[in-house]
Structure 1
């Protein structure tokens, strides 16, 4: 059984590596710190929009909530996908293709992201307690929890997008060959 599981795991890792290699060839003109930082700001703004949408959930007009939530989700998710492509393997899960520097970056931002996510979950818990006795308090707490959970999961990619130096063009050309 363990050999079947190990073979399955190897196939999954191979699939992830192939996907990463495909993404590494995308958007070559965008692989600068300036573009990554712009996308990091857009993702953070999308996250803040989700939190703002959760704050107005069931407290006013439904169209305000819908407009804020949907626009924030579309803008933030689009920028997040682009940022994940630009930060490469470091923002992904498991990759055997990481060098020591990339592995160090990934571990560092993963730890920071976990810490921030933990604090955001505490904030969601406090918000849930504060709105528990209000009308639709459970729904409002759940919406804030989901907004802060999405925000927390984007933090490592935002940090990588902001902090990574420009790619070396020679390394990128070697990867294209």
Structure 2
């Protein structure tokens, strides 16, 4: 039988690790922690995610250039996503014990929206793949499979990003005392 305290110990470890990282990164990118700047990052992330979908569409017909386009889009995604996570304090990933009641409620609501978005968006490429396999389309099968994989991957990434995007967009500006440089 599993150790009943295992889950509690793991949650304690997650909370300690989260608080350590929060302290470590709390002074990074201080000028980007305002709601206005976070919204700029969210819009940039949306543009990058749309580009990911566009690259998937390009891969349907052109496997020479399509995969090469994926690399800079992924690099832009990683930079923007990491920046958004830093300036929003990774509240969407925070363990329950590291948040107050209001933050837990906001986090859970954003996660619920993210799950709904994931389920809805992932349905679209699944239906695309089913219909494309059933119909005799003039598309190379490797292109179809590769493109369909990019579409599914992109929809999953979108769903994973939505909670952080919602929280970054809706949270008010932090108190100025929270992010001042230490003396």
Distance 1:172 1:79 in 2: 20
Counterparts in 2 of 1:76 and 1:5: CA distance versus 1, 3 Å: closer
Residues 5/164 of structure 1: CA separation in 2 closer, same or farther (3 Å cut): closer
Give the structure-2-normalised TM-score.
Answer: 0.84
Measured on the aligned residues, the alpha-carbon RMSD in Å equals 2.2
Q: 1:147 aligns with which of 154, 158, 171?
A: 154
**How far apart, in 1, do the equivalents of 2:23 and 2:75 lie?**
26
Residues 1-177 of structure 1 mapped to structure 2, 5 A cutoff: 1-3=3-5, 6-60=8-62, 62-63=64-65, 65-132=66-133, 133=136, 134-136=139-141, 137-173=144-180
| CA separation of 1:11 and 1:41: change in aligned 2, threshold 3 A | same
**For residues 37-87 of structure 1, what are the alpha-carbon distances to aligned partners after superposition, in whole Å with 9 as ceiling and x for unaligned?**
111011111111111111111412522x13431222111221110101111
Unpaired stretches in structure 2, ≥5 consecutive residues: none
For residues 61 and 3 of structure 1, do their structure 2 counterparts lie closer, same or farther at Cα, with a shift above 3 Å needed?
Answer: closer
Q: Is the 8 A contact 1:44 1:76 kept in 2?
A: no
Checking the alignment, whether the CA contact within 8 Å between 1:43 and 1:77 is kept in structure 2 is: no
Q: Which runs of 5+ in 1 are unaligned?
A: none
Alignment: residue pair count = 175
Query: TM-score, with normalisation over the residues of structure 1?
Result: 0.86
Alpha-carbon contact 1:91-1:106 (below 8 Å) kept: yes
Q: 2-side partners of 1:170 and 1:7: how far apart?
A: 32
Larger RCO: Structure 1 or Structure 2 (Cα < 8 Å, ≥ 6 residues apart)? 2
Counterpart Cα distance in 2 of 1:110 and 1:72: 25
Matched position secondary structure for 1:75: helix
Residue 140 (structure 1) shift: 2.5
How far residue 4 of structure 1 moved from its aligned partner, in angstroms, is 5.4
